[in-house]
Amino acid sequence: MNNCIFCKIASGTIPAYKVFEDENYLAFLDIAPVNPGHVLIIPKKHFVDITETPDEIVEGAITLAKKIGGKIIASKLGEGFNIGINTKTAAGQVVNHFHIHVMPRLPNDKYQLWHGKNYAAAEAEKIVEKLKLEE
């Protein structure tokens, strides 16, 4: 944990361009923005990823992401925004301290979203059983 870059940013050991800070959260500019105004939101406390972060901390972070997204649009840094949470290496998580990306999007910024695949015959029926949640 001592080697965690986002813990160092949270403690002020490493500088960052901060857009919000309170006792639980910090929001700051990503060092390599998808578009200018790309913000990362972190809990100050170290959790490896969303699966290990308490629900109430996740909820507060999502609410902050919504507010920052509104600011992106109001400031015209984006006409829209994507919210991203990369979870584990397979999904592109590089920094193992839970964080939310809020990424400004502009028409013709050349980024693409995922391209969907098709389900094979009878595959969706099996998959949905694996994913059903208890109430």
24, 20, 53: which is closest to 39 by C-alpha? 20
Number of chain positions touching Zn ion (CB under 5 A): 5
d(CA 57, CA 66): 14
Our finding on whether 57 is near Zn ion (CB under 5 A) is no
Joined together, the tokens standing for residue 129 give 């059983």
Question: CA–CA distance from 93 to each of 34, 71, 79, 88 (Å)?
Answer: 15, 25, 26, 5
Among 24, 35, 82, 86, binds ligand 5GP (CB under 6 A): 86
Does position 45 interact with Zn ion (CB under 5 A)? The reply is no
Q: For this structure, is 99 an active site residue?
A: yes
Q: Which two tokens stand for residue 118?
A: 């098709």
Q: Which does 7 bind (CB under 5 to 8 A by kind): ligand 5GP, Zn ion, none?
A: Zn ion
- Residues in 1-40 that interact with ligand 5GP by CB under 6 A: 5, 16, 28-32, 40
Residue 19, helix vs strand vs coil: strand
Q: How far is the CB of 126 from ligand 5GP (least distance, A)?
A: 30
Query: Mind telling me the catalytic residues?
Result: 99
Interacting residue ranges for Zn ion, rule: CB under 5 A: 4, 6-7, 46, 97
